[in-house]
Amino acid sequence: MKILFVCTINRMRSCTAETIYGTDPAFKVRSAGIAPNAARQVTGEMLRWADRIFVMENTHRSFITEKFPEIDLTDKLIVLGIPDIYYYMEPELIELLRNKIDPHIR
C-alpha cells in the first residue's frame, strides 16, 4: 500500500507518520506539506501515486481538493483531526497517529 501523509509544513506530524510507518515493508510511504515553505510540498503526482492520503486537519483536505480538483480522491483521502501542537516523534503524537491510522490500513 502506498501512503501519503500531509500536514502544513511537513516537519512534525506528517514526518513523524512517515518515520513510524516507513519501516513497515507492507507500505511505501511519503509525506508532504501544503505551505509554500514546506520541507516537501504536496503535488498532484504524489496524490495520484497514493492509495491512501492521510491529512492532519480539515484545512489540508480543503487545500488539496481546491488546488487539485482534477484528481479523484474518493475513498482515499482521510482527515485525522490531529492539531499542530506536537513535536517530531513526540510519544503522544506517535500514539495518536497509530490509533487513528491503523484502523484504515490494517
CATH of the domain at 17: 3.40.50.2300
Over the stretch 55-75, which tens digit does the pLDDT of each residue have?
999 999 999 999 999 999 989
Domains held by the chain: number = 1
CB 64 within 8 A of CB 41: no
How many whole angstroms separate alpha carbon 82 and alpha carbon 66?
Answer: 21
pLDDT at residue 102 tops 90: yes
Average pLDDT, the chain: 97
How many whole angstroms separate alpha carbon 63 and alpha carbon 57?
Answer: 10
pLDDT of residue 90: 98
Residue 88 lies in a domain: no
pLDDT of residue 94: 98
pLDDT of residue 106: 82
Interior angle at CA 56, CA 79 and CA 100, nearest 5? 65
Residue 91 lies in a domain: no
Question: Could you tell me the pLDDT band of residue 95, with boundaries at 50, 70 and 90?
Answer: very high
Of 23, 26, 24, 46, which Cα lies nearest the Cα of 34?
A: 46
